[in-house]
Amino acid sequence: MGNIMSDYIKEAEGSLLHTYNRYQIVLDKGEGVYLYDLEGKKYLDFVAGIAVFALGYSNDEYKEAIKAQADKLLHTSNYYYNVPAIEAAKRIKKMSGMDRVFFTNSGAEAIEGAIKTARKYGFLKDGRTDHEIIAMNHSFHGRTMGALSVTGNPHYREAFEPGIGNIRFADYNDLDSVKANVNDKTCAILMETVQGEGGLTPATEEFLCGVREICDERDILLILDEIQCGMGRTGYDFAWQKYGVKPDVMTSAKALGCGVPVGAFMMTEKVGAHSLVAGDHGTTYGGNPFACAAVNKVLEIFERDDISGHVRETAPYLWDKLDDIMKKHPSIVEHRGAGFMQGLVFDRPVAPVINKALEKGLILINAGSNILRFVPPLVIEKENIDEMADILDGCIED
């Protein structure tokens, strides 16, 4: 490692709060599906900023859109209307089939808004404040207190208890487990359509349809977290569209802004008319013209270039390549996921493979200690998949 990078890393370790064990490189710029560190070393990126950079790096059209907005107006506050937010809301409504949109700054904030929506919906029905939300074991929804409270991993929660309370956990893809937790206090069932951090596990059709049925029978809100699995990642604009199971409330972030921090929660007209009203929820930065100019351009490119179609077409090639690697290496015990959101499950920790890959110019991350996660930019082509597979194969050999 050269002096420039080591100097910056030393500075970071003395200044930044140590909540991440960072890889020992300083990234400087990106182009297409490649990243470069400060010393000019090139890396093939199969992480995309954790499923954020759907369109790859340095997309000229995207850059021009945010530069143009930066020249006009970055921020107004939500006491005024702004055109980018109005246009972005119109586009995301068309893409999702939802009716009402609230723009946030992050996925965790979108989850917070969804939780408040569900609590208010329940409160308006019967005036009670003891409503419960059913979330899933092995889920991940974010690090703020509300989002953490519905994250089904006790390890993340234990030092920060008590959480917001009145949360029950059911087992993902186990309908009986959900039914066992439903009672007259239940106001919402919250889940990822494809579990991300929990191990790249898609919902089964039977499970998602069954949960939708329970919600319909009892006037419970179905909240689907599409922060990681949405925005084309599984080959559909939103993962639930493959199942034909529409949520009452859904969350989005990550690839929604393709690098500009932005999220959203959306709901049907029925929920919008019977939940949050003026004074119930707010945000200083959320929905500002700069972030929404990014969203607007991302959604325009997604629709025009059929990004989800490209994923449907190309993801089976990634699946086959990873299957081939699994057959060669007995340490890989399972392959799962959907679209460009796949995982290889190992019988041991994957950190050595990730570190070796980084040395060889391939960026990968894990999902739990023993799962390699593949969430590349959605614009990757077969030759990028070939390059990744060659490097990965060598790293597992080593």
Q: Look-up: residue for tokens 């994923």? A: 311
How is domain 71-305 classified at the CATH fold level? Aspartate Aminotransferase; domain 2 (3.40.640)
Domain boundaries, the chain: 71-305
In angstroms, rounded to a whole number, what is the distance separating the alpha carbons of residues 188 and 219? 9
What pLDDT, on a 0 to 100 scale, did the predictor assign at position 3? Answer: 83
Q: Look-up: residue for tokens 């070939």? A: 386
**For the whole model, what pTM was predicted?**
0.97
Low-confidence ranges of the chain (pLDDT < 70): 1-2
Task: Give residues with Cβ within 8 angstroms of 121, minimum separation 6.
Answer: 187, 188, 221, 271, 274, 275
Residue 152: both structure tokens together: 């089904």
Under DSSP, is residue 169 helix (H, G, I), strand (E, B) or coil? strand
Query: Secondary structure of the chain: what % helix, strand, coil (to 5)?
Result: 45, 20, 35
CB 227, CB 233: distance < 8 Å? no
Nearest CA-CA partner of 114 in 147, 67, 81: 147
H helix count then E strand count, the chain = 15, 17
What pLDDT, on a 0 to 100 scale, did the predictor assign at position 2? Answer: 55
